[in-house]
Structure 1
């Protein structure tokens, strides 16, 4: 179901960003076969234009690309020659701008009609990574009060931002939203999982978004900086709206969208299986440069 209203774009500049995302895996001996999926190609949308994007793989691999169920671009590849290291490097140039806003958001009654519940049911149900316990849901209901859906979504994001400390190492990639909440800390993945879980519990369709964030709001043109993969949330109230609860900011020209899904398990940048000795470790780097 689509909104009957046209989105209104918020004022703001567009940035042109180059992102180089490199993942290297080392093995204890020759690996004979490897099958993988990479979600490292930025999308094209009303907010974002991907000017160039390529995924390079070493050793040489058989590659094909497709769109997954959620609309994300997937680069699937397999390689069968013996190798002790696998390197995947995605290089993209993207123009990104501010988020568009739906001028006439639905109220709670509009979100509860059968057509909406049917069309967005997959984004209303909790998943193992996003489910939140009833006491936390009740606490956020008290914070939201009688606010409408859009204001409620912003209050949820602020509530999560205030209650979870950003702390690397406090959780891992398999941690659930409730584990992060109980710990009181996590990274952008955890903060987004908690936000998505609470938005859904209120009756707002919500999805998990993966991408990149340029870390410097006043970035100089041409200066390469160290970045990392990022995550944020979107909710549907007559149209999709995004917000970055980790940094408590609107989605803007520093955000580059890669993929969307119910939670992180739908959008990992790289996943796969291999036949051979166990992995001895990996190294992931992200370099972001503002070009214009």
Structure 2
């Protein structure tokens, strides 16, 4: 099992139309240690300089919170991390995992209640609800149904950068038949939940090349994918049609993008004139 070692630099921030007196911010940009990734080092730097403190939010995502009280026209947050990642590993067979009856028992429904409900970004219309019902009816197991959903979404919705915005929801992406990873993941999560599969939205990073040369720095991506529960959580990248593996680094999980934005905050002052984002990923090993 060949691991990768990835160095990630993610710089983002806001520019304002004048001096801002103060701002209060949360960054969700740091990977966490978990089964398929080990964080060797991670830090978050803020400009203008500010004292930061870290906590874990309700969904288990690491948050770096900070307040800036010096007057500023630009806010910059730079997160860097070195992470050891693993290939997909022990994948569940399409005929394996929990059964439909297992997912219907009260304990399972109560345990994952919040991850079975639609949100504004993942709610379906009648056409999509019918699609979910048809896929469920034609699938022997929940895991097989989930894989079929990912395949169907990838067939029908093209990955087209810039075709949608941050507020685009699952129904809009389906009607457009195009979107970015966020839209594709929202649509997938919505279909999974409509079939009574607990599903969550995952944010993180993706190295774009499966054959990456060691030492080369490339323009990376903030990325999104999904996880569903069939006796255990299993992760899949519906945008690329692959299980989550050594090219993926997870940062946050939640019901949808609204639970895991890389940077959000409130401030007093003139208008926000834009947000810049730059991600660089280097394969070290």
Fold conserved (TM > 0.5)? Answer: yes
State yes or no: 1:121 paired with 2:121: no
TM-score normalised by structure 2 residue count: 0.96
- The Cα shift of 1:169 comes to 2.0
Render the CA deviation track for 1:252-285: whole Å, top value 9, x for unaligned. 0000000000000000000011111112222110
Partner of 2:191: 198
Partner of 1:259: 252
Question: Structure 1 residues 70-79 or 17-26, which shifts more?
Answer: 17-26
Partner of 1:287: 280
Partner of 2:129: 137
TM-score normalised by structure 1 residue count: 0.93
**How many positions carry a matched residue from both structures?**
281
What SS does structure 2 have at the residue aligned with 1:141?
helix
Query: Equivalents in 1 of 2:207, 2:118: separation in Å?
Result: 30
Asked whether the 8 Å contact 1:18–1:288 carries over to 2, the reply is yes
Query: Equivalents in 2 of 1:266, 1:215: separation in Å?
Result: 25
Choose from 251, 264, 267 the match for 1:274: 267
Query: Equivalents in 1 of 2:275, 2:120: separation in Å?
Result: 27
Query: Equivalents in 1 of 2:92, 2:157: separation in Å?
Result: 29
- The Cα shift of 1:13 comes to 1.9
Partner of 2:13: 24
Query: Equivalents in 2 of 1:62, 1:97: separation in Å?
Result: 34
State yes or no: 1:224 paired with 2:217: yes
Moved over 2 A (4+): 98-104, 139-144
Question: Structure 1 residues 201-210 or 279-288, which shifts more?
Answer: 279-288
Partner of 1:52: 41
| Superposition pairs of residues 42-191 of structure 1, within 5 angstroms | 42-99=31-88, 100-101=90-91, 105-144=97-136, 145-191=138-184
Alignment gaps of 5+ in structure 2: none
* Cα gap change, 1:102 to 1:43, in 2 (>3 Å): farther
Alignment gaps of 5+ in structure 1: 1-11
Render the CA deviation track for 1:7-46: whole Å, top value 9, x for unaligned. xxxxx42110000000132212111101000001101111
Query: Equivalents in 2 of 1:98, 1:231: separation in Å?
Result: 17
State yes or no: 1:247 paired with 2:240: yes
